[in-house]
Amino acid sequence: MRRYVAKRVLHAIFVMWLVATVVFFGLRAIPGGPIRAMLGPEATPSAVESLRTQLGLDQPLYVQYAEWFSGMLAGDLGTSITTGQEITTLIAAAFPRTFSIAIVGVIVGLGLAIPAGIVSATRKHEPADYVATVAAFLGLSMPAFFIGILLALVFGVRLGLLPIFGYTPIGEGFVPWLRSIILPGIAVGLPYAAIVMRMMRSSLLETMNEPYMTTARAKGIDSRVQLYKHAMQNALIPVVTVAGIQVALILVGSVTVEIVFGIQGIGRMLVDSIIDRNYPVTQAVILLVAAIMVFANLAVDILYTFIDPRIRYGGEP
């Protein structure tokens, strides 16, 4: 197992390096050059020169590359063109907001998906199953930002129960914080729940048909014990995979939902930086997102070792 974990960690590091490198070259490959793109066609030569020096683009490529990496590892992500602030500071302010939404999203998502998937599979073709399956379809078909707008309309405008604009940091109280992110969190969590639920259902159904489940029945084991002791662990394996991969959905959802609810998170940062052509910021956010994805996948890989004994004790087949 240690070998397995080591392999996955190395792989993760490799991918991060690859991503950083591609982003590095991507910036420099912009048609017309990044400087012109940022400053616009009427930029004066001196403005171009000073920006170039400021960004270190006048140095030889390999020097730039080395500085880029050493800077990154030291935690220096550069400065924003528009405001001159340290990007790391900006991210430190924005990230907790996105993270809050994401956490609520994951909790809501898994909290709905797993029980729903189990109920759906164990009561296949009964009304409960149909309801859950239809709900999952709907969840898959609505973009998170639309769900957000609907929720804002119903709970914010019509019922006036919850705020629909802005974020309250947790420092100002748990309940106000929760109130400010519960709607965005649900909006982000529902499409996620839909996908995870479908996988839970199909995986459980498949597991129940495995020969070892017949063995369990032949032993006279109670059906609830069969489900939870014999089937669940096996059925969860593909579910964990999907739950990890679909963190992408949560991230994407957060980005759009932040706009709906006026929350100044990473998503807002990304969009603004693209519109303003604030490339250093764009770069940094993309790297951050990739890092989250890679980390999430690594976490899933490691989670496997707890769930699947075949990985934990890789014995002979």
Q: Name the residue among 55, 25, 50 with its Cα closest to residue 278.
A: 55
Tell me the CA distances in angstroms from 92 to 23, 101, 106, 294, one per residue in order.
21, 15, 21, 20
User: Shortest Cβ distance from residue 174 to other proteins (Å)?
Assistant: 27
**What are the backbone angles phi and psi of residue 79, rounded to the nearest 5°?**
-125, 150
Residue 73 or 218 with smaller CB distance to other proteins: 218
According to CB under 8 A, which residues from 293 to 312 bind other proteins?
293-294, 297, 307-310
DSSP 194-215: HHHHHHHHHHHHHHHTSHHHHH
Contact 231, 274 (CB under 8 A): no
| Four-residue CA torsion sign, 291, 292, 293, 294 | positive
- Contact between 12 and 295 under an 8 Å Cβ cutoff? The reply is yes
Instruction: Look up tokens 């991230």; give the residue.
Output: 251
Both tokens of 26, joined, read 């991507």
Residue closer to other proteins by CB (options 46, 125) is 125
Of 121 and 249, CB closest to other proteins: 249
> Is residue 313 within the footprint of other proteins (CB under 8 A)?
yes
| CA-based radius of gyration for the chain | 24
| Window 133 to 172, contacts with other proteins (CB under 8 A) | 137-138, 140-143, 145-146, 149-150, 152-153, 156-157, 164
Residue 19 or 128 having the CB closest to other proteins: 19
Comparison of 203 and 297: residue with beta carbon closer to other proteins? 297
According to the binding rule CB under 8 A, does residue 30 interact with other proteins? yes
* Interacting residues of 164 by C-beta distance below 8 A, sequence separation 6+: 152, 155, 156, 157, 183, 261, 262
Binding of residue 42 to other proteins (CB under 8 A): no
Please compute, for residue 131, the number of CA atoms within 13 A of its CA located in the half-sphere on the CB side. Answer: 6
Q: How far is the CB of 215 from other proteins (least distance, A)?
A: 5
Q: What's the min distance (Å) between Cβ of 108 and other proteins? A: 19
- Asked if 107 touches other proteins (CB under 8 A), the answer is no
Query: Within positions 217 to 256, which residues make up the interface with other proteins, using CB under 8 A?
Result: 217-222, 224-225, 228-230, 233-234, 248-249, 251-252, 255-256
Asked if 206 touches other proteins (CB under 8 A), the answer is no
Which one, 179 or 268, has the nearer CB to other proteins? 268
Task: Tell which positions 252-271 bind other proteins, by CB under 8 A.
Answer: 252, 255-256, 259-260, 270-271
Stretch that binds other proteins, among 22-30, 49-57, 69-77, 94-102 (CB under 8 A): 22-30
Three-state SS string across 243-276, please? HHHCHHHHHHHHHHHHHHCCCCCHHHHHHHHHHC
Question: Among 293, 201, 295, which Cα is nearest to 250's?
Answer: 293
CA-CA distance, 106 to 98, in Å (whole number)?
Answer: 12
The interface region with other proteins, picked from 30-38, 43-51, 63-71, 89-97 by CB under 8 A, is 30-38
Residue number with CB closer to other proteins (103 or 237): 237
* CB closer to other proteins out of 173 and 309: 309
Based on CB atoms, which residue is closest to other proteins, 96 or 156?
Answer: 156
From the CB of 153, what's the least distance to other proteins, in Å?
6
